[in-house]
């Protein structure tokens, strides 16, 4: 059935937590109350990407883009926009520099202008819980093509032409991995989707599964037909309940529609997919640890070769790709590999999805062509650094990556360039830092994460990571020495060479990166016993200056009673007793208390 109007409500995890479901119900109720539900359809979609402005409601066909919508806004949106045909100006997106009128169309929003959506093409456009909406946008056309029109060798040829490299971090050519599995003789083969997304600040795979689950199911089925596998597994962490829920619905609908299970589309090909829940161990993002967990064992990596493509799950040839890699497959098969290869750079084809977070005006999920510059991402898509602060660096690749500083803002973002800069693509986390962030403190955060998440199997990672964290803790506590710097460098080199898996080998990357670009901050912590950014709590001194009028607000707020002084007289902080909580600075109305 065709409707005159459509109301699309963001239904990703972030918007759901901001009452998107209530917005949806209220809009449905108002459509019925105004007797326009027969000509207007409201539906919940996946993530629109512009998370900074959620919850988002988009109207079709006029593309009106409403932001920060609340449940109580539903009545006005329906009565004004749907019934009377008048936009609700107060809810329309405004450009930061726009002083005259609100922006009404997505095409006018800078956040979207440089994006190229391949993986995210359906996110924010379709109801992910309705297979018919996926089919209406050419869903399962690629599977039909693979089942009836082209051979397995043709599929691999298209993947080779596309230049698609694994989006999970390593960037291994997808066609080559599939070819290894296809050419390995075995009575059973498996297809595995790695949805164990564990990097801090990363939510790309989760959002894809929430917004377009059938794309991954279609791709896995294509993989199964190509290499001769009849069973697939989606390994997803249990903390993603919405993604799991929508996957379960998608699998059920695909089976009912003859697109999954036995005798798919009466082709004689059988393929089934099961969901397996992970407990959230970061190490299970490593493929051999993931396979061990799938087999019911403790998730710990094993040496390679043999690689899983040849000997994987239960000793059988196994393709493992992450969610984003699979989500590219249907478009490549449907439109041809050359279409995908036309985007990106010579060595890094296509697009990449990033979770843009941190000190950035427009945080959200973006999909951009490979080769775009960091400056374009930060300042054009991301809208720059809030509050007039200076850009300091971007951490890419999560705990395994490194910092990219302002001198490289114009460097192309692709697999090879990020490696040259001492970072890595990783799964796609991109955390922006400003002048108020301490490079040493951020590095300590990442090392604490990797130490806690280490499986403990190999000594270099288990002991080396703990030692690196120990040195960083000393330095941020004001107890570091110059010898600690050289010790960290030695341990980092040892971990890179001797750790069993990539997680241990890359764990020192944040240290190596910050010692290269921010050694002066390490030296300030060690020699001057001072944190230039004022972030390292044990190195902070709160001092009361001559602006103090003796109002006693700080005295009343101090939890340890370390501030003394008479009313209407200048007060003093006992530095030995101060716990650096900062409450005194927050309550002072006269800027009389400063960090020193």
Chain centroid to Cα 291, Å, comes to: 23
Residue ending a domain, among 341, 375, 392, is 341
User: Which two tokens mark 495?
Assistant: 């971990």
One domain, residues 271 and 314: yes
Averaged pLDDT for residues 482-503: 95
Model confidence over 441-464: pLDDT tens digits?
999 999 999 999 999 999 999 999
One domain, residues 397 and 445: no
Beta bridge partners of 278: 237
- Which of 62-66, 420-424, 509-513 comes out lowest in average pLDDT? 420-424
Host domain of residue 589:
540-595
Q: Tell me if 189 is assigned to some domain.
A: yes
Model confidence over 14-24: pLDDT tens digits?
999 999 999 99
Supply the Cα-derived Rg of the chain in whole angstroms: 27
One domain, residues 185 and 313: yes
Q: Tell me if 485 is assigned to some domain.
A: yes
One domain, residues 324 and 372: no
> What whole-number distance in Å separates Cα of residue 154 and Cα of residue 567?
84
Burial class (CB in 10 A: 0-12, 13-18, 19+), 90: exposed
Output the domain CATH number for residue 413: 3.10.20.600
One domain, residues 195 and 328: yes
Residue 100 has pLDDT above 60, yes or no: no
Model confidence over 353-386: pLDDT tens digits?
999 999 999 999 999 999 999 999 999 999 999 9
One domain, residues 400 and 470: no
One domain, residues 182 and 321: yes
The SS3 of residue 381 is helix
Q: Tell me if 411 is assigned to some domain.
A: yes
Rounded to the nearest integer, the mean pLDDT of the chain is 94
Q: Tell me if 185 is assigned to some domain.
A: yes
Model confidence over 152-200: pLDDT tens digits?
999 999 999 999 999 987 789 999 999 999 999 999 999 999 999 888 8
Decide which of 596 and 130 is more confident. Answer: 130
Burial class (CB in 10 A: 0-12, 13-18, 19+), 479: middle
Neighbours of 10 (CB within 10 A): 30
Residue ending a domain, among 477, 496, 527, is 527
Rounded to the nearest 5 degrees, what angle is found at the Cα of 253, between the Cα atoms of 247 and 257?
145
Number of domains in the chain: 5
Q: Tell me if 535 is assigned to some domain.
A: no
Output the domain CATH number for residue 43: 3.40.30.10
Q: Tell me if 121 is assigned to some domain.
A: no
Q: Tell me if 298 is assigned to some domain.
A: yes
One domain, residues 409 and 274: no
Provide DSSP, 133-184.
HHHHTTTTHHHHHHHHT--HHHHHHHHHHHT-B-TTTT--BHHHHHHHHHHS
One domain, residues 461 and 395: no
Residue ending a domain, among 434, 469, 487, is 434
One domain, residues 200 and 223: yes
Tokens 């995210």 locate to: 120
* Beta carbons within 8 Å of 528's beta carbon, 6+ residues apart: none
Output the domain CATH number for residue 269: 3.40.50.11540
Q: What is the pLDDT of residue 166?
A: 93
Averaged pLDDT for residues 294-317: 94
> What whole-number distance in Å separates Cα of residue 335 and Cα of residue 219?
14
> In percent, how much of the chain has pLDDT > 90?
86
The SS3 of residue 409 is coil
One domain, residues 71 and 165: no
One domain, residues 174 and 292: yes
């Amino acid at each position: 059935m065709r409707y005159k109007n459509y109301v699309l409500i963001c239904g990703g995890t972030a918007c759901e937590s901001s009452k998107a479901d209530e917005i949806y119900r209220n809009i449905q109720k108002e459509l019925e109350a105004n007797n326009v539900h027969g000509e207007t359809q409201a539906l919940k979609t996946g993530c629109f990407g512009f998370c900074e402005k959620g919850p988002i409601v988009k109207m079709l066909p006029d593309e009106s883009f409403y932001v920060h919508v609340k449940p109580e806004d539903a009545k006005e949106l329906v009565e004004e926009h749907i019934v009377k045909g008048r936009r609700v100006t107060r809810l329309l997106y405004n450009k930061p520099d726009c002083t005259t009128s609100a922006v009404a169309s997505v095409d006018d929003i800078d956040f979207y202008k440089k994006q190229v959506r391949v993986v995210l093409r359906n996110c924010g456009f379709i109801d992910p819980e309705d297979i018919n909406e996926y089919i209406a946008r050419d869903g399962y056309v690629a599977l039909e093509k693979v089942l009836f029109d082209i051979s397995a060798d043709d599929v691999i040829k298209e993947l080779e032409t596309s230049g698609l490299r694994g989006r999970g971090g390593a960037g291994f050519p997808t066609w080559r991995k599939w070819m290894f599995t296809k050419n390995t003789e075995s009575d059973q083969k498996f297809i595995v989707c790695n949805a164990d997304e564990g990097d801090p600040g990363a939510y790309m795979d989760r959002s894809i599964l929430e917004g377009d689950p059938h794309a991954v199911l279609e791709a896995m089925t294509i993989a199964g037909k190509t290499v001769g596998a009849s069973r697939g597994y989606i390994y997803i962490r249990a903390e993603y309940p919405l993604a799991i829920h929508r996957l379960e619905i998608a699998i059920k609908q695909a089976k009912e529609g003859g697109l999954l299970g036995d005798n798919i589309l009466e082709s004689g090909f059988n393929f089934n997919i099961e969901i397996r829940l992970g407990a959230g161990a970061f190490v299970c993002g490593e493929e051999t640890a993931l396979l061990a967990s799938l087999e019911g064992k403790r998730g710990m990596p094993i040496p390679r070769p043999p690689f899983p493509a040849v000997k994987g799950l239960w000793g059988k040839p196994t393709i493992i790709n992450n969610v984003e890699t699979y989500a590219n497959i249907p478009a490549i098969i449907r439109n041809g590999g050359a279409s995908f290869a036309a985007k990106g750079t010579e060595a890094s084809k296509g697009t990449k999805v990033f979770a843009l977070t941190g000190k950035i005006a427009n945080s959200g999920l973006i999909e951009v062509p490979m080769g775009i510059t960091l400056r374009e991402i930060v300042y054009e898509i991301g809208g720059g650094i809030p509050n007039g602060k200076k850009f300091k660096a971007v951490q890419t690749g999560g705990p395994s990556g490194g910092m990219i500083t302002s001198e490289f803002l114009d460097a192309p973002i692709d697999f090879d360039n990020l490696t040259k800069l001492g970072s890595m693509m990783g799964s796609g986390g991109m955390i922006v830092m400003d002048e108020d962030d301490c490079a040493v403190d951020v590095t300590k955060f990442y090392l604490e994460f990797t130490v806690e998440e280490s499986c403990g199997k190999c000594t270099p990672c288990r002991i080396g990571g703990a030692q690196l964290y120990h040195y960083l803790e000393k330095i941020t506590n004001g107890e570091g020495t110059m010898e600690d710097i050289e010790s960290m460098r030695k341990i980092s080199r040892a971990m890179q060479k001797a750790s069993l898996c990539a997680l241990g080998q890359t764990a020192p990357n944040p240290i190596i990166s910050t010692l290269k670009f921010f050694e002066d901050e390490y030296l300030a912590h060690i020699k001057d016993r001072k944190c230039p950014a004022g972030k390292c709590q044990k190195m902070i001194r709160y001092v009361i200056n001559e602006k103090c009028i003796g109002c006693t607000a700080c005295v009343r707020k101090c939890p340890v009673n370390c501030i003394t002084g008479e009313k209407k007289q200048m007060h003093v902080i006992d530095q030995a007793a101060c716990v650096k909580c900062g409450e005194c600075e927050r309550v002072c109305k006269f800027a009389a208390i400063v960090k020193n």
